[in-house]
Amino acid sequence: MSQEQEHYFSADPTVAFRREPVTARVWGHDLALASGSGVFARGRLDAGTAVLFRETEPPGPEVRQVLDLGCGWGVIGLAVAVAAPEAAVTCVDVNERALLLARENAVALGVADRVSAVLPHEVADDATYDEIWSNPPIRVGKQALHDLLLTWLPRLAPDGRAVMVVGRNLGADSLQRWLGEQGWPTTRLASAKGFRVLETRRGPRST
């Protein structure tokens, strides 16, 4: 496994830790954040997440509980927290270094009172979410990705939705079909720069 891949698989990456600043304007808000070595998209806003932000609107005021699944250093969940001041955001990742950065970024942005960054097993068993936002870790492999989604999508509230960005050449269209086959109707909200923005909602087989 290369060091570049390690962010997807390691709870405690072995590469030397060095913070790198990232600035991004998301939904009309300027975010000054820190990324770091051993974490996905070090020193940059990755292209898929940029498409996700550009092609969507932030959660509305009725959305109170949001999950950032596979949060990395937290840019999606933090952007939601800044743009949706009524929302509490849970950021989940297996990479403890990523979670440390997400917590630091929440403090820097003044939203630490509404953002938690935790390991998957630290999420309460009965926690549910109005929306799930994610740039999911496609390269963990198809089975691991399917297991991940089937673990977390059932935590959606009855009228909830998941918004995800997936590379077209990394199987976005087949993932959309598969989700529908599992009882999670999924539509394409947008397609840009080789990425699909997908919206998944509860269906009759997923309740």
What is the pTM (predicted TM-score) of this model?
Answer: 0.89
CA–centroid distance for 194 within its chain: 18
Longest CA–CA separation in the chain, Å: 48
133 pLDDT higher than 90:
yes
Taking only the tens place, the pLDDT of each residue in 192-207 is 999 999 999 987 666 6
Q: For residues 68-83, give the mean pLDDT.
A: 96
Q: Where are the domains of the chain?
A: 6-201
Instruction: Tell me the CATH architecture of domain 6-201.
Output: 3-Layer(aba) Sandwich (3.40)
If you average pLDDT over every residue of the chain, what do you get? 89
38 pLDDT higher than 90:
no
* Residue 3 pLDDT: 40
* Residue 137 pLDDT: 87
